[in-house]
Amino acid sequence: MSDQVQVLLQRVYDEGVAKAREEGNKIIEAAKAKAEELKAQAEKEAQSILASAQKKAEELSKNTHSDLKMASQQALSASKNKIADLILSETINKDISKAMGDVEFVKAIIQDALAAWKSSFPDGNLTLSENLKTKLDEYFISSLKALFNQKLQIDFSPTMKNGFSISPSDGSYKLSFTDEDFAELFKSFLRPRTNQILFQN
């Protein structure tokens, strides 16, 4: 009887061990499969991160190259304009200063500007350079006022180097005719041609 119990116990033991071994193997296989799945997922994510980083690096490189190219073109253009301005200033400023120092020339400009002004405005303010105060005779000043039926206010400005300005009586805006204004006007017309001559573009 004890032998049968012993056999029975041995069989239960063997079946238990076999079942435990089978369960253990299943757990190990499941763990291995999960590990392979996690490894594959990690590799996929790593490749995605690497591809994204490479794309961003390429975009950054492209944008940096584009920004550098634009900055260099702007710097070159600014340098060309500066050179052209220096040359134009050297030639134009002397001639304009000389012309604005000619009282008869300035008188003619003042008369023409006021005649054009009068066609749109019945009154206004004329501000003249302080330098002109001793150069313009009383008859000329009176003739300007008469042109506007005495509705033209004439002042002399110590801050204005040469030339004059015209504004409506309410002072809402001003048209300026100084040597600097004429110089800038001529430069704006001559700059493109000067750049073309200097830089052949």
pTM: 0.53
Alpha helices in the chain (DSSP H): 2-100, 103-118, 138-147, 179-199
Architecture of domain 96-199 in this structure = 2-Layer Sandwich (3.30)
Residue pLDDT, tens place only, 30-67: 878 887 888 888 888 888 888 888 888 888 888 888 88
The CA distance from 32 to 30, in Å, is: 5
Residues 145-182: pLDDT tens digits?
Answer: 888 888 888 889 888 888 888 988 887 888 888 888 88
Starting at the earlier edge strand, list the strands of the sheet with 175-177: 152-157, 124-129, 164-167, 175-177
Domain map (residue ranges) of the chain: 96-199
Tokens 């204004």, residue located: 181
Residue 175 CB-half CA count within 13 A: 13
